[in-house]
Amino acid sequence: MTATWWSHALFYQTYPRSFMDSNGDGVGDLDGVTAKLDYLAALGVDAIWLNPVMVSPMADNGYDVADPRDVDPLFGGIEALDRLTDAAHRLRIKVTMDLVPNHTSSAHPWFQAALAASPGSDQRERYIFRDGTGPGGIHPPNNWVSIFGGPAWTRVVEADGNPGQWYLHLFDAEQPDLNWDNPEVFEDLEKTLRFWLERGIDGFRIDVAHGMAKPPGLPDMEVIRAEVLLADMDDDPRFNNDGVHEIHRQIRRLFDDYPDAVAIGEVWVYDNEQFSRYVRPDELHLGFNFRLLRADFDATDIRGAIENSLAAAEMVGATPTWTLANHDVDREPTRYGGGPVGLARARAMAQVMLALPGAVFVYNGEELGLPNVDLPDEALRDPVWERSGHTRRGRDASRVPIPWEGDAPPFGFSDNPDTWLPLPPEWATLTVDKQIADSESTLSFFRRAIELRRDRPEFDGLAVEWLDSPAGGLAFRLSSGLVCVLNAGRRAMALPDGELLLASGALVDGKLSPNTAAWLV
């Protein structure tokens, strides 16, 4: 593992819609992020990952890109991104963007041209159009389902006014999948990557990095399953097809022209060997390993997740990555049981994550201990809600804007009380301002933990050695000397010898309470 700026970096995921609204339209934007850079610097972040800000009709909050080489006016346009990048760089914070190579928006000029063209045309060859099956092609070409619910195929109306071919969309119907067998698709991605890298962007998080290559012949799914993120899906023909690795090699060759830029894949693949392929020396620099995120608050499960993530990275000499949250999953305090116990566990897990070697990703609001929000039906915006016929509520509950200050919604997030998702009144105790003033708050805890991780040499080691610990607990030592202990059991645990650097909750009689972690040197 060579030392690069990202090999021990703390990436902070900024969901731009929900971070800070600078222009009072109720939706967060890039000038809002710029306005809060001091907050991020004080937190100790090394890099920002911005969810998609390119031009988009926002059918999936920007993961439906209509112009990949411009910034949507909703987020302030390209000048706002330049302002953010310049200001961040002055604070030595890197800026990485989301890249969406698996699909475009249906409003993208390519897709509009494909709709206007006829079956078999070059325009249709950029996407995955097929004739239907059954009499008159009335049924979709195969049985694939969309991740968001419903079929993965939509039928188009041809120029003669009759129903015609079908196109593939693994996500929303407004997100048609690109045909990566067509060289034009990479040529265009190359233009996009160079456009942003030349503009000073420090890297990309690559959306659905395990999905771009489709299997020859598009065979049926044997097990029909829409929701895939947290499931094992080794048998799912929609993802993790071998052809994807040649695409990543092409991307990597381009990145090699920009040696200081990082490519990070979203890789929902759990088998270690399969996962490791994405981060081979000639593919992506980093891949999100979601094992820790998927683990229950259970010592055996957590240890397994850590061991497997380390093993997968080690197979190919890659940097391990750790993440507990993002905009697609429930927030940790809710996942770990909710209430004070859920929050205590979330803090303990953050402390475990921040002890591990490699790069870590913190999702905005995680540092405040925000839980999911119970939103009323009429507030839901995620396309999953509609596409699933109101059977899945989608991901809005973990995308609610950040509460900054004050005693009532929208807590300084916007001047406009009508924010794109409502902030709950009970977040009055969780605002940034209140937490900064409280040395016991989750924010103060994160700041301290990140500072220690950054400044103390005991965090630099790459090897993890497991130590004995009572049932329900786990303990490991980094080769550089840091000891991390987690009590995921029901009884207080004695701490090993050493100087206590930080605990995620109060000790009781010198012992580590349940749902608490500690660092010692």
- Residue ranges in contact with ligand NOJ by CB under 6 A: 60, 63, 100, 171, 207-208, 266, 327-328
**One of 207, 236, 266, 458 is an active-site residue; which one?**
207
Q: Is the Cβ of residue 62 or residue 410 nearer to ligand NOJ in the bound state? A: 62
Is 31 part of the annotated catalytic residue set?
no
Q: Is the Cβ of residue 31 or residue 207 nearer to ligand NOJ in the bound state? A: 207
Q: How many CA atoms lie within 13 A of 244 on its CB side?
A: 30
Could you give the dihedral angle defined by the CA atoms of residues 65, 68, 74 and 77, in that order, rounded to the nearest 10 degrees? 180
Q: Is the Cβ of residue 15 or residue 413 nearer to ligand NOJ in the bound state? A: 15
Work out how close the CB of 278 gets to ligand NOJ at its nearest, in angstroms, rounded to a whole number: 15
Q: Omega into 410 within 30° of 0, i.e. cis?
A: yes
Work out how close the CB of 284 gets to ligand NOJ at its nearest, in angstroms, rounded to a whole number: 16
Cα–Cα distance, 452 to 454 (Å, whole number): 5
Q: Is the Cβ of residue 228 or residue 464 nearer to ligand NOJ in the bound state? A: 228
Q: Between the CA of residue 496 and those of 350, 383, 475, 484, 519, what are the distances in Å?
A: 20, 49, 9, 10, 10
Work out how close the CB of 227 gets to ligand NOJ at its nearest, in angstroms, rounded to a whole number: 12
Q: Between the CA of residue 9 and those of 38, 94, 204, 286, what are the distances in Å?
A: 18, 10, 14, 11
Work out how close the CB of 122 gets to ligand NOJ at its nearest, in angstroms, rounded to a whole number: 25
Q: Sign of the C-alpha dihedral, residues 453, 46, 311, 347?
A: positive
Work out how close the CB of 50 gets to ligand NOJ at its nearest, in angstroms, rounded to a whole number: 13
Q: Is the Cβ of residue 266 or residue 283 nearer to ligand NOJ in the bound state? A: 266
Given 3-state DSSP classes, what are the helix, strand and coil percentages for the chain, each rounded to the nearest 5? Answer: 30, 15, 50
**Coil, strand, or helix at residue 253?**
helix
The per-residue DSSP string of 304-325 comes to HHHHHHHHHHHHTTPPPEEES-
* Partners of residue 139 on adjacent β-strands: 133
Work out how close the CB of 226 gets to ligand NOJ at its nearest, in angstroms, rounded to a whole number: 13
Count, in order, helices (H) and strands (E) of the chain: 15, 18
Is 273 part of the annotated catalytic residue set?
yes
Residue 154, both tokens:
């939509």
Residue nearest ligand NOJ (C-beta atom): 63
Cα–Cα distance, 18 to 398 (Å, whole number): 10
Work out how close the CB of 203 gets to ligand NOJ at its nearest, in angstroms, rounded to a whole number: 16
Short-list 197, 486, 187, 200, CA closest to 347: 486
**One of 246, 273, 282, 407 is an active-site residue; which one?**
273
Q: Is the Cβ of residue 12 or residue 63 nearer to ligand NOJ in the bound state? A: 63
Q: Is the Cβ of residue 212 or residue 348 nearer to ligand NOJ in the bound state? A: 212
CB 98 within 8 A of CB 50: yes
**Looking at the annotation, which residues are catalytic?**
207, 273
